[in-house]
């Protein structure tokens, strides 16, 4: 099921997600919904807080730009190590139509549970490394705009508030008979 993606600034996006205690059918259903939602929005990553679920779950799929990668669900991901730095123009499904350059680690090693509950470790570089850092930031209540200047962040905040108001007006208009 495709879920609604929360638009920043929304207080839920500033909250820390709780670790998943047990990988069960409910968590696997959440993972399925998250993949469906991410694909419907044409994204490469999605964190559970972006759909209003404060659990440490992310889904990623960078295969369109990294053919050697594969879709991955990460439950309770923890970045174990980083190497080097790179600058990448990041966007976010919760901040549609915006992108800014952010400095990140060039290579990351992440530990996580897969959708079967098995422990996994993945070493990633390129877009997948960026996406892992971006999505794990969401689990800590951080957004990519927290890595840019206050002036740019405020300009984006104003555009997102306007977008949210437009969407709300559209909902109200379509709800009337």
Give the pLDDT band of residue 176 (cuts 50, 70, 90): low
- The reported pLDDT for the residue numbered 170 is 87
- The reported pLDDT for the residue numbered 28 is 98
Alpha-carbon gap, residue 72 to 82, rounded angstroms: 19
Instruction: Report which of residues 64 and 19 the model is more confident about.
Output: 19
Average pLDDT for the chain: 95
List 100's β-bridge partners, or say none: 90
H or E element at residue 136: helix 126-139
- The reported pLDDT for the residue numbered 68 is 87
Q: Which residues are catalytic?
A: 135
- The reported pLDDT for the residue numbered 177 is 63
The answer to whether 103 and 137 have CB atoms below 8 angstroms apart is no
Contacts of residue 126, Cβ cutoff 8 Å, sequence gap at least 6:
62, 66
Q: Which domains does the chain have, with CATH numbers?
A: 11-175 (3.90.45.10)
Of 66, 62, 74, 84, nearest in space to 110 by CA: 74
pLDDT digits (tens, 9 = 90+) for 29-85: 999 999 999 999 999 999 999 999 999 999 999 998 888 889 999 999 999 999 999
Summarize the confidence of residues 2-12 as an average pLDDT: 95
């Amino acid at each position: 099921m495709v879920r609604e993606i929360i638009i920043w600034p929304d207080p839920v996006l500033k909250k820390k997600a709780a670790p998943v205690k047990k990988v069960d059918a409910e968590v696997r259903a959440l993972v399925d919904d998250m993949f469906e939602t991410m694909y419907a929005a044409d994204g490469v990553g999605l964190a559970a807080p972006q759909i209003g679920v404060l659990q440490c779950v992310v889904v990623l799929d960078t295969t369109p730009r990294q053919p050697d990668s594969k879709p991955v669900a990460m439950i309770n991901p923890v970045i174990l190590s980083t190497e080097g730095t790179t600058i990448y123009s990041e966007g976010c499904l919760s901040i549609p139509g915006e992108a800014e350059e952010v400095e990140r680690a060039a290579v990351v090693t992440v530990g996580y549970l897969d959708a079967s509950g098995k422990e996994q470790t993945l070493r990633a570089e390129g877009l997948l490394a960026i996406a892992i850092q971006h999505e794990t930031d969401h689990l800590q209540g951080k957004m990519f705009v927290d890595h840019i200047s206050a002036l740019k962040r405020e300009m984006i905040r104003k555009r997102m508030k306007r977008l949210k108001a437009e969407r709300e007006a559209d909902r109200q208009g379509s709800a009337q008979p």
